[in-house]
Structure 1
Amino acid sequence: MKHRCPICHKIIEEHHQERSGEVRFFPFCSRRCKLIDLGAWLDAEYKVISEPSEAPSDADTDKQ
């Protein structure tokens, strides 16, 4: 099975990963790409967007 590294877009074959020990970096091709992705999360380059929750705000709880 083949997949593409989400950072450098290198095509990686599954049997190649098992032989070289790269399977520990999945879905990335290398430690370098794994760390680049981690850095992007830490620098807030990636965001998880969600709908606002229906939890009561501070103003709503003061009324009670």
Structure 2
Amino acid sequence: MKTNAQGERLVRCPQCGGDSVFASSNKWRPFCSERCRQIDLGAWASESFRMPAAPPQDPDDAGPGGLVH
């Protein structure tokens, strides 16, 4: 585990990959800076982070009781 001179744990910033202090002294943790936090928030707000999913089923393909076959 990496630490800084004050003995605080250092982790990898999820945005830029640089060192980030993972302690209460870093108000942007786990990010290294407000800039990295804002970039990440913007990516979430613009829906850049997506999970792959199957396309929605066509309602006309539903069988009796609305069950898809």
Report the CA distance between 1:47 and its aligned residue: 2.1
Q: Which has the greater radius of gyration?
A: 2
Select which of 22, 25, 30 maps to 1:27: 30
Aligned residues: 56
Q: 1:36 to 1:5 in 2, by over 3 A?
A: same
The TM-score with structure 1 as length reference comes to 0.57
Greater helix proportion: 1
Give 1:12 shift.
2.4
Query: 5+ residue gaps in structure 2?
Result: 1-8
Q: Secondary structure at the match of 2:20?
A: strand
Deviating runs (4+, > 6 A) in structure 1?
none
Counterpart-to-counterpart distance in 1, 2:29 and 2:52:
24
Q: 1:37 aligns with which of 32, 35, 40?
A: 40
Question: In structure 2, what is the Cα distance between the partners aligned to 1:49 and 1:27?
Answer: 25
Q: Which has the higher contact order (CA 8 A, sep 6+)?
A: 1
| TM, length-normalised to structure 2 | 0.54
